[in-house]
Amino acid sequence: MKKVISVATALLLSSTLLADADVQTQLDELKKEVKKLKKDQKRTKKSLSSVKKSTGGDNIKFGIDFRNAVDVLEYKNNKTGEKYTNDSLLSSRLYLTMKSSPMNGLVFLGKLGVYSTWGAELFESSPAAKDWSATSKASDTIMRIKEAYFVYKNKVGSQPYALSIGRRPATNGFLANYRENEPKPNSPLAHITNMEVNGAMLKLSWDRFITGSYSKFVYGRAHTGEGHGVYGESTTDFRYPYANTTGSGKEDDNVDFFVFLGDGYNDGQYQVMYQWAHIFNTKGKALKGPGAADDVNKAASGSAELFSLGLKVDGVGNEISDFLDSTTIFASVAYTQYDAKSGHSILGSSDGGSVNGNSFWVGAIVPDMITEDGKFGVEYNQGSKNWTPMTWAEDTAMGSKIAVRGSAYEAYWNFNLFGAKYLPSQVRYTYAQHDYTPNVNCAGWVKPVATDITSSDIRFAVSYRY
């Protein structure tokens, strides 16, 4: 019996040892696998590190904003009875957005845009497409730079600041973003500035003194004057690239601007914004002689001052109801003054004279009570005879309703098609009564005269935004 037990014990011990040997073998194999995985991980990290170095520590992030729209347009001159229509202006607008941040406090932002009518020409040469309007008005099929700038943020002691240079995000700014069905406004006040601009910006925050307060100082150029140098048939004539060869007093001067804008107060519900802009060498007429009525050509004819003050209220009252909490109301007033220099005229005023214009703009945006995130909006604009803001990029096919010299009414419904947040859509109706010459392209060389012209635009648009 003892022998039997001894044999059994031996067999048990041997089987245990064999099992332990198998476990040890498996453990050794696992250790080899873990070691191999660690080596692979190190190789991957090394590869990623080299990629990060080659990309400056960050990748460029791209986005898409692709909109298709149909506009039904009507224009009528009530004095002459002339009437013109377009029952299906079809257009597509594609924005490719870019963002890169290689380090804390430094970011690059860009946007390429093409905005064309269906069946458009490859390149639109008449009228000339300025670089600050071509991506904001339906024209040709060329893709252009709409925005390209960097922002550097830091502090000097306890004072935060930001520096930026490049093509600024200056369209669809404060208050205009609602009618464009865009969740956030861009930088300037759209009441007086709605066009791409190239410039340098310094931003100073005053939030430690006044809630949400800051100021921006922007200097830039809207038009490069005669600076093409001499280009002749012989090499000796090619001597002055980009130099002014017409001498002092030339008519086609550079058009520069200085802008001071910012938030006076912003607590998330109440926001007050201000903007003052000065334009150097704004366009007008060069006269044939003292007091002459006829022009020689469009020229640098004087200066302009533009001012706007706006108030936006996000949420009426304090938790009165969900409807009022989701309601936005706003109001804005604006003023323009154009001063002609001697021998020139602007908006009909000549030889040192000045003309003043003013406008007000009110609106309300409320929940549509139909869809989850949909909104209804209504707006009203009123402008005087000489009201002349810089709104080349106003995205209304019939022209700038913000620049109306008369009155404009607008209603729109912003909603997500099929309930998808990536398909923001809009139905919009705009009607304008022009009591004076419509302000097209901020044409300072055109004298406003009394008229009776009406225009309307019914728009259906759907976007893909991601």
Q: What is the pLDDT of residues 128-178, one digit of tens each?
A: 556 667 778 888 888 989 999 999 999 999 999 999 999 999 999 999 999
pLDDT computed for residue 377 by the predictor: 98
Average pLDDT, integer, range 85-107 = 95
Residue 138: what pLDDT? Answer: 85
The DSSP call for residue 59 is P
- Decide if pLDDT at 251 tops 50: yes
Strands (E) in 104-210, as ranges, are 106-117, 144-156, 159-168, 197-205
Q: In this structure, are residues 295 and 287 in contact, taking their beta carbons and an 8 Å threshold?
A: yes
Distances (CA, A) of 225 to 38, 251, 252, 283, 300: 63, 8, 5, 11, 9
**Cα(first)–Cα(last) distance of the chain, in Å?**
83
Q: With 50 as the cut, is the pLDDT of residue 4 above it?
A: no
Minimum mean pLDDT among 37-41, 261-265, 309-313, 402-406: which range? 37-41
**If you average pLDDT over residues 368-387, what whole number do you get?**
96
The span from the CA of 201 to the CA of 205, in Å, is 13
Residue 1 has pLDDT above 60, yes or no: no
Beta bridge mates, 273: 263, 310
Q: pLDDT band at 126, cuts 50/70/90? A: low
Candidate from 4-13, 27-36, 204-213 with smallest mean pLDDT: 4-13
Length of the chain counted residue by residue: 466
Q: Is the pLDDT of residue 304 over 50?
A: yes
Share of the chain above pLDDT 90, in %: 60
Say how far apart CA 163 and CA 151 lie, in whole Å. 6
Pairing relationship of beta strands 214-223 and 83-103 according to DSSP bridges? unpaired
- Residue 189: DSSP 8-state: B
Residue 27's region, left for phi above 0, alpha for psi from -120 to 50, else beta, is alpha
Mean pLDDT, range 359-380, rounded to an integer: 96
pLDDT exceeds cutoff 80 at 455 = yes
Of the listed ranges 3-17, 90-104, 147-161, 345-359, the least confidently predicted one is: 3-17
Q: What average pLDDT does range 380-405 have in this prediction?
A: 90
Choice among 276-290, 310-324, 331-345 with the minimum mean pLDDT: 276-290
Residue of 124 and 304 predicted with greater confidence = 304
Least confident of 49-53, 141-145, 331-335, 366-370: 49-53
DSSP 418: G
Q: How far is the C-alpha of 297 from the C-alpha of 292, rounded, in Å?
A: 13
CB proximity list for 377: less than 8 A, separation 6 or greater: 178, 179, 363, 364, 365, 366, 410, 411, 412, 413, 414
Q: For the CA atoms of the chain, what is the radius of gyration?
A: 32
Rounded to the nearest integer, the mean pLDDT of the chain is 86
451 pLDDT higher than 80: yes
What pLDDT, on a 0 to 100 scale, did the predictor assign at position 291?
A: 47
pLDDT classification of 34: cutoffs 50, 70, 90: confident
Residues paired with 287 in a beta bridge: 295
Distance of CA 101 to the CA centre of its chain: 20
Q: What is the mean pLDDT of residues 418-446?
A: 92
In three-state secondary structure terms, 237 is helix
Cα separation, 460 vs 90, whole angstroms? 10
Instruction: Identify the DSSP state of 390.
Output: B
How many CA atoms lie within 13 Å of 306's alpha carbon, on the beta-carbon side?
A: 29
pLDDT value of position 299: 77
- What is the full DSSP assignment across 279-338? EEEEEEEEESSTT-SSEEEEEEEEEEEEEEEEEEEESSSSSS-HHHHT-EEEEEEEEEEE
